[in-house]
Structure 1
């Protein structure tokens, strides 16, 4: 994928796509010998792979109480472990189920995202014009003017970013990128729908579509019994299963995964 791409197409490669990511996070062994906390499909997961970045840990320490920091750190570690397990396990699931995005589904996703990009640009342009009009008022306090100017600069940066992305990529490269992102979006939706149909459970709202979080517990239990992964640390195992069972989020209807989000008609 092209480096430096910042526009709306980035929607398609975040969020749910973590769950079908390749095994890059496990590819490089740790520099020093380290006892693993888990093994997934014969690949070890060291404890260091679960830790948040040091810069993030320092920032959290500065703003949280010791109790809240400990809770945040534990949740972050278990979320990282869940992603490291689900990545390869769901890739194997894709292969077992033979999930392959159809050409027409990819084309529909491309069209849906193109429409979303256009709508976002129109919203940004309308916001820019509104802010310009507000800044033309003579009764603004210095604080109000600074706030409006900051919002205007942010909006104009977003508009420039869209234009720069389009200019940086030629037409052929942009089409290739669009198809690649759309394919991953369709595949992610297919995985989530398949999991929900097989295992049921709650569906929650995510920025890039519905996620079958209620299916993860029975899916992971099934794969553990099948020997696809092992948790080697008792404390990590206890915290991990508690984390999976919590599955926080805004609940959605049980049919939320039957139609991909880019084909849904927005409610008035």
Structure 2
């Protein structure tokens, strides 16, 4: 799978829609409100049972922010500009790759010897390539100068990588690669355990606690890079690595 530029990743991410505003849902909300309990606490702020689906994000984000503040980690303006420039280059390279894929698939689908299964698979791949190219073309129609939101997202990407690198240097462990970049999962786990022991956060609901720790402790969820690849991934930011031709 191709690694998409971060702007495309953001624009293709699913959105959380608001609940319909009607008397029946309002009544359900009213009834549910009476049963809301505190299931966790992070940096002195309670997390309620109606926030259970966001619990991992709320705690993890708060802890990463705490670590960044304590270690004085942030992205410089120069790093943000470099990220945006390299991301633009990656976008052009990725687009060219999808154009080649589209042409190849269109030619292959002209064959009358394809099995039904192969034809279906290629049709799905072609539909994905067309959809991605459409999103990319919509992005290129926008003004080229990055706006405030793009710079904000870029700053967060750079800061997140710097935090991950610092955590990996401090705790070591295994690394996985996600669409947004490498993650030092074992370092996350060890850091979070320390913060929990310090009282930076606590999860009082047992089921919520299991859900929270699953990502950081269940190795079957991930495919890990080997030790050398993991160390290299955490040392050089992915947007500065030389892009191999498609």
The TM-score with structure 2 as length reference comes to 0.73
> Are the aligned partners of 2:6 and 2:180 in contact in 1 as well (CA < 8 Å)?
no
Which of these residues, 234, 239, 242, is aligned with residue 265 of structure 1? 242
Offset at 1:37? 1.3
Length, aligned pairs only: 218
Hey, what does 1:58 align to over in structure 2?
Answer: none
Higher alpha-carbon deviation: 241-250 or 107-116: 241-250
Hey, what does 1:249 align to over in structure 2?
Answer: 222
> Are the aligned partners of 1:7 and 1:165 in contact in 2 as well (CA < 8 Å)?
no
Hey, what does 1:43 align to over in structure 2?
Answer: 45
Offset at 1:135? 4.4
Q: How far apart, in 2, do the equivalents of 1:42 and 1:13 lie?
A: 33
Offset at 1:199? 2.3
Which of these residues, 208, 216, 223, is aligned with residue 195 of structure 2? 223
Hey, what does 1:66 align to over in structure 2?
Answer: none
Residue by residue over 1:100-141, the C-alpha shift from the partner in whole angstroms, topping out at 9 and shown as x without a partner, is 21222222211221121111111111122223333445x356
Q: How far apart, in 2, do the equivalents of 1:164 and 1:236 lie?
A: 40
**Which ranges of structure 1 fall in alignment gaps of 5 or more residues?**
1-5, 16-29, 52-79
Q: How far apart, in 1, do the equivalents of 2:216 and 2:44 lie?
A: 22
Hey, what does 1:95 align to over in structure 2?
Answer: 69
Task: For residue 46 of structure 2, give the secondary structure of its aligned residue in structure 1.
Answer: strand
The TM-score with structure 1 as length reference comes to 0.67
**C-alpha spacing 1:185/1:218, structure 2 compared with 1 (3 Å):** same
> Are the aligned partners of 2:5 and 2:87 in contact in 1 as well (CA < 8 Å)?
no
Task: For residue 233 of structure 2, give the secondary structure of its aligned residue in structure 1.
Answer: coil
Hey, what does 1:127 align to over in structure 2?
Answer: 101
**C-alpha spacing 1:238/1:165, structure 2 compared with 1 (3 Å):** closer
Q: How far apart, in 2, do the equivalents of 1:115 and 1:259 lie?
A: 17
Confirm whether residue 184 of structure 1 aligns to residue 156 of structure 2: yes
Offset at 1:44? 1.6
Which of these residues, 55, 72, 91, is aligned with residue 81 of structure 1? 55
Higher alpha-carbon deviation: 231-240 or 42-51: 231-240
Residue by residue over 1:81-100, the C-alpha shift from the partner in whole angstroms, topping out at 9 and shown as x without a partner, is 33221111211222222112
**Which ranges of structure 2 fall in alignment gaps of 5 or more residues?**
14-31
Higher alpha-carbon deviation: 230-239 or 97-106: 230-239
Q: How far apart, in 1, do the equivalents of 2:109 and 2:101 lie?
A: 12
> Are the aligned partners of 2:98 and 2:129 in contact in 1 as well (CA < 8 Å)?
yes
Hey, what does 1:9 align to over in structure 2?
Answer: 7
